[in-house]
Each structure stands twice: as C-alpha cells, then as structure tokens.
Amino acid sequence: MYFYCEKCKKQYPLNSRSYMCECGGMFHLHKDSKDEPVHEITIGEHETPLLPFSVGNLDFLLKMESMQPTGSFKDRGAYTLINEIQHLGIDKIMLDSAGNAGASIAAYAAAAKIDCTVYVPDDASPEKIEQIEAYGAKTVKVPNGRMKACSAVKQNLGDAYYASHVYNPLFFEGMKSIAHETYRQLGNTVPDYVFVPVGNGTLLLGLYYGFEEIGRMPHFVAVQSKKCDPLYEAFHGLPEQPKRTTIADAIRIEKPKRLHDMVRAIKNSDGDVVAVEDTEIVRAKKYLSSRGIYVEMTSAAVLAGALAYFQAGKPDNYRVVLPITGHGLKR
Ligand SMILES: [Zn+2]
C-alpha cells in the first residue's frame, strides 16, 4: 500500500511525515490485492444493527453506529488507521477533531499504547473533550473554531505522525466496512438511498468507496444544516454564504478539504444534497428519543433530511438507510 497525490499522482509511503502532496493535492490510497489488513488492536468494534423505524407512513432502516465502542461511526476509521500506524512502528500521533474522531482515535491509540495529542476547538462539546482525555490523550484547546484547530496542529507536529481523519486515506479505508456490512445485512443487495450527515465527508466518502468496491451504488443524499452548508452550495452551484454556528457540531465544517470528491460522489450516485433548519434537527432528535433512540444532534440531522426529502411521500419498496452516527450521551 502507498499514498498517491490526487493531482500529480506522486507516490508517498504510508509512514510519510507529509500529509499532503508538495503540489497541494490530497492523498488517496493505493492498495494491491496482496495487501493484507492488520487487525491486532481491537476495543470491541462490531457489526451494528440495521433497525426498522417508521415515521408516519415512511419506513427507514437505522444503521446503529452509535453502538460502536466509543459511541460513534468513527471507530471504523480509527480501527484501520491505528492498526496500520502501529504496524508501521509509529508511536506518537497528533490530530485535530471537533470530538468524535478525536475520541475514536484516542481510544484505539490507548489500546495500541501510542502517544496521542488531539487539538480541539475550544467550543467543542465538554463531554467529548472529557472522553478524549479519559483515554489518556492530551488535548490542546484552540480558540476560533475547527479550521484554526486544524492549522494549529499542522504547525506543531514536530516528530509526530498526523493521524488525521480528513487527510489520512487509511481512515477512509476503514470507513468502507459500513458499506460492505450494510450490503450483507440486506441479503447482498444495495439499498436504494443512504442519507448521510456531511461535515468533512468521512462517512459519505467511506460509503462511496465501499459501494464502489461492491460495484453498485445507492443514491447518496447528503444532509447539512442551513447554517453551515458548503456542500449544498457547491452541489447546487449557489454563491457561498457566511457560515454560522449550528447545533449539529459534528458537521460544522466551513471549508471541507475533500469537497470536490464529495460533489463527485453525490453526482456519480445520482444523489442530492439537502439543507435543513436547526429547528428541524431538534424536532427529529426529540422524535427519535420518544421512540427509544437517543442520538447526538448530527445524527438527528439525517432523519430531518430524509423527512424533508420525502415530504411528498416515498414508494414503499424503496429501502432507505439512515446511519445513526453518534450516541446522545456525547452531548
Ligand atoms: Zn501532487
């Protein structure tokens, strides 16, 4: 396996201290059929239920990623990323995160005895910061938002490996498992629609690459908050509006690094992007709770998006998967 630049195709080894190409291109992963994944580090990641759930006459399938060991889907990416990092002999990592990725990577790093530092925006959820620190990771709080946390960590890497869930393709490699698992759970068939809350696009791109391997695509519908919707603007060709703070903190990403990849994934799947009001997200969260499903705000956004998208109804034979990305106890 090796990384290669999306633009100039230059190759870099997996243990490279470069996290993007000198030409400014993002890394992608090249994998040979002989490349065996490493599975030494585990904290109990598992197949999550695909739970039937209805709202009025609309029926959905909730993919319960909130049941992963640290409470979010990010454990899939962290599992593969940390296993490979440990295999490469790397013992010190840094990353930036608004919470869930930081908690996942810190947990797996703890299991692998890897020294871990997470840069977080200072307005990140206190519960998520507490979880990251509980795993023994150091945290550095950075004022003025998620983008500043990203630039701060890059300036302070020193001899540490940048274990980023946005820059490092090994994280996306791990995310593919959710596509393969959903396919198996549906009797080796592909769902008609998958709704995805989108910030940095780790879940959307992981699903896209996974279904690409399977050879058939569901329609992907990305969901963003109207207060911070760069993919919605890019996909629909709208002018960029100032970004505001949304209650769905995990998708509060103003300038996602892999925006072009995301637009391509939506177009290639004949999908769409919807933006919802924060009030609709709150209503969806309350509804899920009233039915026994306790989720973080970002997870509720997928239900809000699906209800808006199928406002005029949905054919009964459409199978629509809504990933429940994070547990409500996190905030
Ligand atoms: Zn390049």
Q: How far is CA 60 from the centre of its chain?
A: 21
What pLDDT, on a 0 to 100 scale, did the predictor assign at position 33? 87
| Residue 247 confidence (pLDDT) above 90 | no
**C-alpha of residue 27 to centroid of ligand 1, in Å:** 8
**Residues paired with 172 in a beta bridge:** none
What pLDDT, on a 0 to 100 scale, did the predictor assign at position 27? 97
Confidence of residue 28 (pLDDT cuts 50, 70, 90): very high
| Residue 331 confidence (pLDDT) above 80 | no
Stated pTM of the model: 0.95
Nearest alpha carbon to residue 82 among 72, 93, 73: 93
**C-alpha of residue 82 to centroid of ligand 1, in Å:** 25
Average of per-residue pLDDT across 226-246? 92
| Residue 57 confidence (pLDDT) above 80 | yes
In this structure, what DSSP letter does residue 65 have? G
What pLDDT, on a 0 to 100 scale, did the predictor assign at position 245? 85
Number of Cβ within 10 Å of residue 220's Cβ equals: 26
Give the torsion sign (CA, 264, 270, 275, 280).
negative
Q: How far is CA 71 from the centre of its chain?
A: 13
What pLDDT, on a 0 to 100 scale, did the predictor assign at position 144? 82
Average of per-residue pLDDT across 57-78? 97
The length of the chain in residues reads 331
**C-alpha of residue 31 to centroid of ligand 1, in Å:** 18
| Residue 37 confidence (pLDDT) above 90 | no
Q: Mean pLDDT in the chain?
A: 95
What pLDDT, on a 0 to 100 scale, did the predictor assign at position 276? 97
Per cent of the chain over pLDDT 70 is: 100
Confidence of residue 190 (pLDDT cuts 50, 70, 90): very high
**C-alpha of residue 190 to centroid of ligand 1, in Å:** 34
Confidence of residue 282 (pLDDT cuts 50, 70, 90): very high
Region 2-36+75-170: CATH code? 3.40.50.1100
Class of the CATH domain delimited by 50-67+176-330 = alpha beta
| Residue 58 confidence (pLDDT) above 90 | yes
Residue range 143-183, pLDDT digits in tens: 988 889 999 999 999 999 999 999 999 999 999 999 999 99
> How many CA atoms within 13 Å lie on the side-chain side of 131?
25
Residue range 12-27, pLDDT digits in tens: 999 999 999 999 999 9
Confidence of residue 248 (pLDDT cuts 50, 70, 90): confident
Report whether 81 contacts 170 (CB < 8 A): yes
Residue range 93-127, pLDDT digits in tens: 999 998 899 999 999 999 999 999 999 999 888 99
**C-alpha of residue 4 to centroid of ligand 1, in Å:** 8
Structure tokens at 265: 């994934």
| Residue 81 confidence (pLDDT) above 90 | yes
Write the burial class of residue 210 (CB in 10 Å: 0-12 exposed, 13-18 middle, 19+ buried).
Answer: buried
- Gap between the Cα atoms of 228 and 107, Å rounded: 29
- Gap between the Cα atoms of 9 and 262, Å rounded: 19
Dump the DSSP string for 229-274: -HHHHHHHTPPPPPP---S-GGG--SS-TTHHHHHHHHHHTT-EEE
- SS3 string of 98-157? CCHHHHHHHHHHHHCCCEEEEEEECCCCHHHHHHHHHCCCEEEEECCCHHHHHHHHHHCC
CATH 3.40.50.1100 residue ranges in the chain? 2-36+75-170, 50-67+176-330
Q: Which long-range contacts (CB under 8 A, 24 or more apart) does 21-27 make?
A: 26/167, 26/257, 26/258, 26/261, 27/3, 27/167, 27/168, 27/169
**C-alpha of residue 96 to centroid of ligand 1, in Å:** 23
**C-alpha of residue 165 to centroid of ligand 1, in Å:** 20
**C-alpha of residue 11 to centroid of ligand 1, in Å:** 9
Report whether 193 contacts 318 (CB < 8 A): yes
Confidence of residue 52 (pLDDT cuts 50, 70, 90): very high
